[in-house]
Structure 1
Amino acid sequence: MHLYNLTLQGQTAINQAVHGNFSGTPKAQEICVGRGSTLQLLFCDPTTGKIKVLCSHEVFGIIRSIIPFRLTGGTKDYIAVGSDSGRIVVLEYSSEKNSFVRVHQVRLLHH
């Protein structure tokens, strides 16, 4: 059995925000935001000038930190997400799946 917790109304406050080229599209800039337990990838639509949600993902826990980074020689940014569960997860945005894909996960141990 799997338990999953969803609220009726989504978070409106943005706790964390970073920018980068997460889709890998040349000269594109997206914004990755953390809203409580929701991770969203936003972009500015050039035709309307409005910010739209490219991808939204619920995580199990509260997002405490988001850091973008790029591998040497790469053209795409990755996202390192820290949560209150004591995990650091490296995510990559997949435009084919239109979702975040976990590349690596580390659980920090408390002594």
Structure 2
Amino acid sequence: MSAAAGIDRTLAALADPARRRVIELLREQPRRAGELADAVGLNPPALSRHLRTLKATGLIEESHPAFDARVRIYSLRPQAMTELKCWLEETEQLWTIQLGAFKAHVERAP
């Protein structure tokens, strides 16, 4: 998958408010699916669809504690945001250059 396609998938996944809330919660600590469902205010099947999307984009990962394979613990995969952060930094640099050139142009005008 190209970098652009990865960024597109990440942005599409983060476009949903419920998925962004899941990311915010997982920033604090890993959580069980039931905890996430309660905190986000979704029923388990709806949350499951959001978790599948987040896993498919590589934003989160799922693990199972040794004591019970039925329990699913979700946590962030920070490396998944690397491409997006790089793209945002490049875009910010471009805008800084463009705005600097525009400012210089305006200041030169009589």
- Do they superpose with TM above 0.5? no
The higher-RCO structure (CA 8 Å, 6+ apart) is: 2
Flag the structure with higher strand content: 1
Name the TM tier (shorter chain).
under 0.3
**Which structure has the greater CA radius of gyration?**
2
Flag the structure with higher helix content: 2
TM-score (norm 2): 0.26
